[in-house]
Amino acid sequence: MMFWKYYNKTSWRYFMTKTNKRLSLFFKIFLIIFVAYIIRLSWIQLFTGPKLKQKAEQQRDYELTTSQGGTIFDRNMVPLTNKGTQKYIYTSLKTIKDNKDYQLYLLDKIKLSEEELDKYISNTKNNMLKIPAKDNINNVKNGIIVDETKEYSENNLLTHVIGYVNENGVGIGIKKEYDSLLSKSNNTKLKVILDGKSRLLSSKDDYLEVNENNDTIRNSIQLTIDYNIQQIVEEAMEEKEYKGAVIVTDVESGDILALTSQPDFDLNNIGDSNKEKDSEQMNRIIQVPYYPASTFKTVILLSALEDGIDLEQKFECNGSITLAEGQEPFSCHDNVVHGEINLKEAFTVSCNSIFIELANILGGKKILETVERIGLTNKVDIDLDLDIEEKGEVSKLEKVLGPGIGNLALGQEHIKLTPLQIHNLTMIIANNGIKKDMSIIKGYATNKGDISMQFERENDEWIFDRSYAEIIKDYMKSVVEVGTASNLDLSEYGGAAGKTGTAQKNNINNNGLFTGFSPSDNPKYAVTVIVEDIGHKYSSSTAVEVFNKIIKKINLEK
């Protein structure tokens, strides 16, 4: 009995000792595991945690970035781009893709057709789809509506000057020329939350909107254009649905106040313009050389003045003139016989016979020398698309010897000038023989609309004597007062001076031209107008009327 008692006590001690050892070992193992777990959690929290969190957020969150590039301003800091806002619907691609019911629901709220929406969906490579919404839409299911700055306005003003540039660097205008500057942007980020099926979880009000860059940066351009005058010019052409070109400049400074090429194109839908068929994207001001027609008579007159012509000399107009036997005679307008008149009278009524006779006396060599010396066919360079600006065209001397002088004198066949080159000569005349450095750029500006740096201009250049310019100005004034542009009605605004021209394109179509300035004595504005395809009409009923309307409205809106 004593043995069993002793044995039991001994066994119990042994058992307890062994158990304690096991518990101690287990506790040590647990403690090691716990410490390792704490260390692991700390490592995750401090080092790998942020990365894991970022990956989780990337799967759940989607970041929308909207950016506003630089603005193109007019001379008075009126914005010509980034002027309005456009609503966009953002929805996840998974929500809309292969979901015809939702697509049909959206069609009532967006500015796209069903076919256009299909293209948007198929071309989108991101998780989120951005669709232009109608202006009256304020909410949408399974999506959010964001107001973003609209790059181009709906009025489509100054399209060829503002221009565009695509992702391949192809484009025209200021947008292309100053792409590196204008592309500097103020970005706004919007974080949206998606569920496991990439669907939006809540409304825009719950999302975080952060403006990344609110600093003042130099990313904008200030033009010399006057917004109001530009509107006047475009309305004057568009209300008659005229094709052609108009340019308006400040005579004293050389600032280009307005410039239009018609037809224009929609900057909000560039793909619809047809370069080949309608040449909508072609800037006629700098890219299309026209026959200057009778506006070229100013060059013949200048050449005659430099040659020492007697201004009182009388010429005889018989209604037509023949330069060579068997040649078709050159006729005056409507075969009018002007009789015996002097040079001023011949210029005033745009007498073809007398100016052909005068050109024949001067000779082709003398006239071409005048064209060369005044740089008439050279590129003008107004800081806009110089790489695509066209030079004028003039025939070689052998083409204008003998009978060929006739068409040269009339500004047909042997001479072609862009509207800008015609206008440049008018500016020289208005400035008494001095060439101004015309430009469409005033300088750089900030995103806040402040002037940052003004561009320097070339110094004025003397082209011909003031005395010659004064005579030509007097003759141009007579054209308006009693000549081919006497239908101008600008006496209350100081009158005008100019020269008409009607260029024959073919047997059934003419182009109407008028180039001049107003007021006539102390010119403020120089304007050149070309109207294409006017049928059998003349410049007096087309281009002159556009000039009249522009000058009147400019003065009325001062």
pLDDT of 126 > 90? The answer is no
Q: How far is CA 179 from the centre of its chain?
A: 12
| Residue 321 neighbours by CB under 8 Å, 6+ apart | 329, 330, 352, 353, 356, 357, 406
- 223 and 72 Cβ atoms separated by less than 8 Å: yes
More confident residue, 130 or 315: 315
DSSP 227: H
More confident residue, 325 or 457: 457
Q: What is the pLDDT of residue 3?
A: 43
β-strands 144-150, 84-92 pairing: antiparallel
| Residue 327 neighbours by CB under 8 Å, 6+ apart | 403
β-strands 171-172, 525-531 pairing: unpaired
Q: What is the pLDDT of residue 16?
A: 57
H/E stretch holding 35: helix 2-43
pLDDT band at 335 (very low <50, low <70, confident <90, very high): confident
Compute the chain's Rg from CA coordinates.
38
Per-residue pLDDT tens over the stretch 217-243? 888 999 999 999 999 999 999 999 999
* % of the chain with per-residue pLDDT over 90: 55
Q: What is the pLDDT of residue 192?
A: 72
More confident residue, 100 or 74: 74
Sorted by where each begins, the domain ranges of the chain are 85-149+188-217, 227-557
Query: Looking at residues 189-207, what average pLDDT do you find?
Result: 64
More confident residue, 106 or 294: 294
pLDDT band at 549 (very low <50, low <70, confident <90, very high): very high
Q: Dihedrals φ, ψ of 98, to 5°?
A: 60, 15
227-557 to CATH, choices 3.40.710.10, 3.40.640.10, 2.40.340.10, 3.40.50.200: 3.40.710.10
